[in-house]
Amino acid sequence: MADLDTLIHKRGQIKARLTRLKTAYQNFVQDNQLKTLEFVLNKTLPAWGQYNEIANEIELWDRDNVELHRKKTEEFETEFAKTVTHISTLINNGNAADMCEQRWTVLRNRYCTELRAMRSTPSGSGTTSTWQWIHCMGFLEKQISLRRTKGNIKPITSHPSTSAACSTLSPSWNTEVALPVGSDEEMGESQADRMVQQLEVLVERPEVPDQLRQNEVKTPSRKRQVGKDDGLTTAMSTAFTSLNEYVQDKRQPEDEDMMFGKSVGYSLQKIKCVKKKFKLKSAIMTLFAEVDY
């Protein structure tokens, strides 16, 4: 009787044979591959009995983990039976409906992989796919849309009037541009982008003549900008003071406005980007500054 390490190694080799059989079945596309698939199946069939013999010896060696080894044996037998059944059906029935669907899935996935690689290659480099079915599957190119990532999303150009309004209302230190909605950002950051864009629409100014617009977008003087920054700082300080007074006075009843303010605060806590959080606060306080109390 071999030692435990040798038995476990042999068991792993048998599982590897099953993996190779599954790979040959999953990559099956052409009818002339049936003979190869049948040959691999015949070579793998004795693995069932070999695995059970080795599993029994392992249980005798490692009596403390018998349940664990039996569970692995059951998983192997289930996967083995499923794979052999599918391959036997394919060999006997040929182009059955479910087998054609399986072939189609293999071809489509391979074409998507090749298409993604070609689109990511710089134009004019001369790199092409070496897959033999690439031209046969070319009709799918217009039907497939690749997953959107940071690298392939085109930037969204904002409306001129919106940009002018935002440049007038935003402080000079706020130079970050909002990312496009739908990018693969974290949940908190994409929510902040959407909220900032909604606020930018709310503060949009009506259309004005070209001469006035040219004067509006001019960079304000340092003194004027400092005054605006001080006003914004004062407004934010007033808001925080009001919130502190409310927290200290616990006898004050909870009204709808305060509940909404708390919900806004909870949403701000979920935003991880400090710059976007500050930009959102600035936009909110700018709206408060324009309201007549």
Q: Is the pLDDT of residue 284 over 80?
A: yes
180 within a domain of the structure (yes/no):
yes
On whether both 167 and 89 belong to a single domain, the answer is no
107 within a domain of the structure (yes/no):
no
45-91 pLDDT per residue, tens: 888 888 888 888 888 888 888 888 888 888 888 888 888 877 777 77
On whether both 245 and 167 belong to a single domain, the answer is yes
On whether both 179 and 67 belong to a single domain, the answer is no
169 within a domain of the structure (yes/no):
yes
Give me the domain span that covers residue 43: 4-94
Last residue of a domain, one of 94, 129, 146: 94
On whether both 274 and 185 belong to a single domain, the answer is yes
Distance CA 24, CA 249 (A): 72
- Closest among 84, 81, 284, 111 to 199, alpha carbons compared: 284
58 within a domain of the structure (yes/no):
yes
Last residue of a domain, one of 77, 94, 111: 94
128 within a domain of the structure (yes/no):
no
125 within a domain of the structure (yes/no):
no
Query: What is the pLDDT, as a whole number, of residue 179?
Result: 41
Which residues, in sequence order, are CB contacts of 124 under 8 Å at separation 6+? none
- Closest among 249, 251, 246 to 265, alpha carbons compared: 246
218-249 pLDDT per residue, tens: 565 666 666 666 766 776 677 666 666 655 65
277 within a domain of the structure (yes/no):
yes
22-44 pLDDT per residue, tens: 887 766 655 556 777 778 788 88
Query: What is the pLDDT, as a whole number, of residue 226?
Result: 63
Last residue of a domain, one of 79, 94, 109: 94
On whether both 168 and 82 belong to a single domain, the answer is no
282 within a domain of the structure (yes/no):
yes
Distance CA 281, CA 153 (A): 27
On whether both 77 and 185 belong to a single domain, the answer is no
Instruction: Determine if residue 24 is left, alpha or beta; phi over 0 gives left, psi from -120 to 50 gives alpha, anything else beta.
Output: alpha
Helix 160-169 to helix 187-202 angle, to the nearest 10 degrees? 100
Structural domain total, the chain: 2
On whether both 88 and 167 belong to a single domain, the answer is no
